[in-house]
Homo-oligomer: A and B are copies of this chain.
């Protein structure tokens, strides 16, 4: 398999390393900075470099665009102009709407691995970066099933857990689970800094910080404060609509908490806190992995979008597709998609969801 990586930084470099080590792929890299390409070869992140995007992608089976979010849409468009007809093109941007608008091509599937590290650059890249990580995929109505399957299987080979999600749901979700926590971290450190004062003297507040122990809740909540400005300025701009919605929700919820504290009714305060615990358990509950891995096979018409539709239905229900394989019929009019999922419950859910989409499904 030939893989091209456009933008060989932390994530692009890690994709290259993982693809070489875990999928025995040949990896060609392009980066706007020639010295980065040299470093990437020296570090084993790519096999060879290319002088431009066309050279990197012209015979690729899979292309990952891993440039900064700000230049992502333009890079994806250029890749789609240069890549072969039977090549799947994906990106790794942390917001998906920006790219989705630019790429209605049947070869394109937006992507976003939930992985990373404190540092940046190919020097921090690791072949095991994606092991166990959720890797979002945002197929659209026109996405080729064959190409989606190829990408899915490659990501599984890299150690990731691909999960299909709608573009808007992804961006809303990221606003909630990543971007808003970053905003709140910034807000908290701003407040704390005002408290400590510029000279560190304010009748005692300095001590908590000078001791280096401001309590675990503050440390945890502010770990990401002031994260890499180059990366985050782009993210805030790219997903501003959903982040604004998240901020508005947070402000109105803080207003409700305000009222509770002013009313000072212990029962209401306790009920609010109990509800938060229930919410926390609800959103972080992991599905029980009982019953081993199940294989299910569905007969599907061979037209664009069908695999995307199934993947989105399962992703939306929280079903983790451990692996998938697509076998076209000899006349190419239809095919069989085999899906492996874990646990009795997820298998039953998969069966029910695919049936409700109108496709015949059997347990293998």
The residues of A with any CB-CB pair to B shorter than 8 Å are 114, 132-134, 136, 161, 163-166, 168-170, 172-174, 176-178, 180-196, 200-227, 229, 232-233, 236-237, 240, 243-244, 246-251, 253-255, 257-258, 261-262, 264, 266, 269-270, 272-287, 312, 315-320
Contact = CB atoms under 8 A, between A and B. Distances in A.
Contact of A203 (B184, B209, B285, B316): B316
B204 A315 contact: yes
Contact of A209 (B218, B243, B285): B285
B224 A217 contact: yes
A286 B212 contact: yes
Contact of A257 (B183, B208, B266): B183
Contacts of A251: 251, 254-255
A311 to B, nearest CB: 10
Given A172-B195, A261-B236, A207 B316 contact: yes
A222 to B, nearest CB: 6
Contacts of A195: 172-173, 176
Nearest to A263: B240
Given A190-B279, A203-B312, A207-B319, 5 more contacts: A133-B213, A134-B213, A178-B218, A206-B318, A226-B273
A226 B276 contact: yes
Contacts of A114: 208, 213, 215
A266 B275 CA distance: 38
18 contacts: A114-B208, A136-B207, A166-B204, A180-B188, A180-B191, A181-B217, A181-B221, A186-B272, A189-B276, A189-B280, A190-B279, A201-B316, A204-B315, A206-B316, A207-B320, A210-B287, A210-B318, A244-B261
A249 B190 CA distance: 10
Which residue of A183, A246, A281 has the most chain B CB atoms within 10 A of its CB atom? A183
B244 A258 contact: yes
Given A164-B204, A205-B172, A185 B221 contact: yes
Contact of A247 (B183, B193, B202, B258): B258
Nearest to A220: B220
Contacts of A212: 284, 286
Given A134-B207, A178-B218, A221-B181, A254 B187 contact: yes
